[in-house]
Amino acid sequence: MKFVIKFATSVLLVLPCALAAQSSKPLTNADVVKMVKGGLPESVVVSAIQTSPAKYDISPDALLALQKDGVTPKEMDAILAESKKAPASTESVAASDSISKGHLPHVTVAGKSNQSLALEKTQLAQTKTKPSSMKGLAGDSAVNQAMQAGIGTAAWSTATRMNSPVGGTSVMEGGSILSSMMAHRKAMMTYVWGVSSLASKNVLQTTSPTFLVDFASTMGVNPDDFEPAIVKLTPAQNSYRIVGATQGKEDAQSSNAADWEIYSSFLEDRVAVKSEKIKSGSYKVSSASPLMPGEYGVVLRPVSKSKKFSGGDVARAQGDGLMFDAVWSFQIADSAE
């Protein structure tokens, strides 16, 4: 009995030391994927991330790989949070530098201070109503329900939010929000792109703003396929603004085939612009005439209206889908000159 007690005591004394030695090894992306694929609950994985030293690769490619391996948004949030606490290594600094140099598209307002605009991803909603006018869509009950249900609830790819100069841009991701309302869906649906909040926080005091748009290094995109544009946003239901709409098959956003000509008949309130191409994927753009007070957005549009998109890429905001989903909203103040 004394032997057993002595043995148990020694085990209890050694165990914390062993665990401490084991926990001193920094967790990596591969460790997290191993836990996820091993079936550990999300709460356990998050706890392990929060209580262990960190050595994560948070480059855009690595984060997208984590997403493909089934790592949840909460788990990736924890990885990013712990990476911020960890001392910056040469690799992480290099990754951060590469992100800031434009792995994702970005827009600035040209001027004395070159104000950066946060990239916002549009929310995607569905309705049976044909896209005949922006005003009509703004009053569509199905669109309103879908938009309001999604506002403030979903975040897109963790890699995208790293592009925001203010840390975490609030962005939305559409899905089959209206499944309960569409028991008798037709073959074609109207897809509506909207951006959260009734008004942009970017209030400009000039009616003739100039924007510097750069998407030259966006991953998985041919920059020559796109060009910047300015559109007028339509406020709706005191909670969001409509960017535009088009029709597509009812399962378009779940298809990975690049067969959706989104822009061939896209409805939007486009503003005439003066555009100067500095280089491939880099533009200087401004409105051709002074803008009236109201809500607007810089967007990226395909040069060819017949360009085909993968609905899955649009729903996940990746590749060409990210380009089409992105918007940089701004407001022309009533007092603007």
Please write the tens of the pLDDT for every residue from 13-33: 443 344 334 445 889 999 999
Q: Is residue 306 part of a domain?
A: yes
Considering its fold, how many domains does the chain have in total? 2
Domain end marker among 101, 128, 148? 101
Same domain as 113, residue 96: no
Q: What is the pLDDT of residues 218-232, one digit of tens each?
A: 888 999 999 999 999
Same domain as 85, residue 128: no
Same domain as 115, residue 30: no
pLDDT surpassing 70 at residue 57: yes
Same domain as 113, residue 95: no
Residue bearing the bigger pLDDT, 296 or 83? 296
Same domain as 153, residue 22: no
Q: Is residue 337 part of a domain?
A: no
Q: What is the pLDDT of residue 115?
A: 87
pLDDT surpassing 90 at residue 296: yes
pLDDT surpassing 50 at residue 54: yes
Same domain as 307, residue 159: yes
Long-range contacts of 24-29 (CB under 8 A, 24+ apart): 24/53, 25/53, 26/52, 26/53, 26/54, 26/55, 26/86, 27/52, 27/53, 27/54, 27/55, 27/56, 28/55, 28/56, 28/57, 29/56, 29/57, 29/62, 29/65, 29/66, 29/79
Residue 89, domain extent = 2-101
Domain end marker among 43, 71, 101? 101
Average pLDDT, the chain: 78
pLDDT surpassing 60 at residue 11: no
Predicted TM-score (pTM) of the model is: 0.62
How far is 93 from 75, CA to CA, in rounded Å? 22
Q: Is residue 109 part of a domain?
A: yes
Which among 322, 333, 332 is positioned nearest to 119, based on CA atoms?
A: 322
CA distances from 272 to 140, 163, 206, 285 (A): 27, 28, 17, 10
Same domain as 205, residue 150: yes
- Confidence at 179, pLDDT banded by 50, 70, 90: very low
